Amino acid sequence: MISKKNIIDRFISYVTIDTQSDPDSQSTPSTKKQWDLANRLAVELKKIGLEEVEIDDNAYIMATLPANVAHKVPVIGFVSHFDTSPDFTGTNVNPQIIEDYDGKDIVLNKEQDIILSPDYFEDLLQYKGQTLITTDGTTLLGADDKAGITEIVSAMEYLVNNPQIPHGKIRVGFTPDEEIGRGAHKFDVKKFGADWAYTMDGSQIGELEYENFNAAGAVVKIKGKIVHPGYAKDKMINSMYIAQDFINSLPRLETPEHTEDRQGFFHLTDIDGDVEETTLKYIIRDHDKNHFEARKEMFSKLALEINTQHEREVIKIELKDQYYNMREKVEPVMHIVDIAEEAMKQLNIEPLIKPIRGGTDGSQLSFMGLPCPNIFAGGHNFHGRFEYVPVESMQKAVEVIVKIAEITSEKYK
């Protein structure tokens, strides 16, 4: 299998290229710097021996590993994104390699006293004795999802170099802007031409997911009326107080910090306001479609109720659906999940089948006609300074990709 050194070298070469996306940009990709890695990947895919390597005007990359068997096998795909989150800086990433992790605190940054501790991040203890790649405490790492890219490229290289492993045609796809919810917006599913695909974008080893949140974004605009405070009686309307009423009227325990598993939530992400006008930005999430619709309806009813109280329209709600639960599209073709589960079991990896408390390119792709479950990429603590990835998990992900290709070929003899 691909050596640890090759995986480390490839991964570090990717994460040290800044590819942070920008939600305020309307271009695709949303930042020019994403081209730096995109162009490099296109060159690398050709170098390792893939065919039909293409990069389009929006930086979407596609490539082909041709079948090496004579019988007809469904075309499968593997997809990852190369942008990193705007939540935390991805500039000047300086990875640290921790060999034979001893299960104790890891000093990420001595000067700033930044510690990655198993006392807080208990998952670290799963990887005692393994090789970890961490940040230096000042940036994110970018394992989300450069670990996935590393694994896909490494698996394709391994299959090219080991033609005795039978496989059908495999398509590879890399996308920009997943972290700002636009990773699949301009993905050409027809051109990709796969019967199904897998995103390599999960977290800990063993994760296999085919459910995700239904998601919407809400912008709540509240209009007040500014009057000199000395003469404001019965005249001033303070939009910030109305905003407070709106916030406090939503279920307090239905927020991210109080929910888990399949429980949905309302999440206030931003407040910007003064007396005259306040804007609240929310994301709304739920795995259950009916509960999801009820959550959106709650927003509308609450706005109507507050407007009625003030006898004028002080609140306007802008609701926009963002993505839906891919379970609806994957369940009719559950054999594609079964193949991934079987691959893990054959490799002595315990499958962790659970819903994603978030979204993935696979959700949108599934609704675009490309059923696309999600497989672990190995990283932890995404989008922040405490992000890390065990190298052995990346190795196992490479093995899973190879095994999926092999099993698929065998099943369709």
Give the catalytic positions in this structure: 83, 178
- The phi and psi torsions of 74 (rounded to 5 degrees) equal -55, 145
Query: In sequence order, what are the residues at sequence separation of 6 or more whose Cβ sits closer than 8 angstroms to the Cβ of residue 91?
Result: 18, 20, 139
Q: What is the dihedral of CA 128, 132, 137, 143, to 10 degrees?
A: -130
Cα–Cα dist 298/127, whole Å: 44
DSSP state of 356: B
Closest CA to 66 of 188, 161, 160, 196: 160
- The phi and psi torsions of 77 (rounded to 5 degrees) equal -130, 160
Tell me the two tokens of residue 235: 């005249």
Cα–Cα dist 401/405, whole Å: 6
Cα–Cα dist 295/309, whole Å: 21
Cβ burial, residue 343 (10 Å; 0-12/13-18/19+): buried
Residue 127: which H helix or E strand, with range?
none
Please state whether beta strands 352-353 and 277-286 pair in parallel, antiparallel, or not at all (unpaired).
unpaired
DSSP state of 405: H
Tell me the two tokens of residue 182: 């636009």
Tell me the two tokens of residue 163: 């033609």
